[in-house]
Amino acid sequence: MSHFGRDRTSAASVRSHRPSTDVDDVLTAFRSGDPVLIHDAADREGETDLVYPAREVTPDSVRRLRNDAGGLVCIALADRVARAWDLPFLQEILSHPAAANHRLEYDERSSFSLPVNHRDTYTGITDDDRALTIATIGAAAEAPKAMDFSATFRTPGHVHLLRAAPDLLSDRQGHTELGVALAETAGLPPAVVVCEMLDDETGGALAPSAAKAYADRNDLRYVDGTHLIERLG
């Protein structure tokens, strides 16, 4: 697995490993445990997420996500996995008035489910704690009914779970579905970490050109969501 470090790649390596939108290259990298960068669409969120296979996440991966991406670290799960673990959509179970009339400008609904910690963590927020929570969920997603979710995790916690649409890209084309579809096509458990890449100077979403440059520097694969939808949808 690649580790974080913005300038670890030599100039010669950068020239020979340009960011690729070839989906086969992205699948190969993801299958090997490397993170990939996925941009959803300019007319949707317009964001690039750094995406990992959840079961491959280590404390180094969490450090990279919070230092180099900077957004919210979440685990996206296939709908069948969420159903096996009885995971609801969060907006459907909240009774607080703030949850009423929950409208999104870019989508019909939120994918958020419960935020959790592994029961063997302390605070749940450290790199080691979050890596344990994420990797355990990632491995268990291969055969979700074999694990007692409530005995293994507690809520509230520090790792946010996302529930993908049942038919993935046919239903919804967010990073949740793009990531899970990528994992399934790669033959991996349908659980991926997604984290928005933010611009340190503006505080907004990292521009696609800057995300591609980051991929270039770190020998990672960048792909536009439209290419994934064409191939995986």
Catalytic residues: 49, 74, 106, 117, 158, 196
Chain centre to alpha carbon of residue 102: 23
CB-based contacts of 220, cutoff 8 Å, min separation 6: 2, 19, 29, 34, 35, 36, 37, 214
Query: For 161, what's the count of Cα atoms within 13 Å in the CB-facing half-sphere?
Result: 35
> CA of 35: how far to CAs of 1, 52, 164, 168, in Å?
8, 5, 19, 20
Residue 230 carries which side chain, given as an amino acid letter? E
From 4, 2, 1, select the one nearest 127 (Cα to Cα): 4
**Sheet arrangement for strand 74-77:** 112-118, 153-163, 74-77, 191-196, 48-53, 36-39, 221-224
Determine phi and psi for 196, rounding to 5 degrees. Answer: -65, 140
The SS3 call for residue 136 is helix
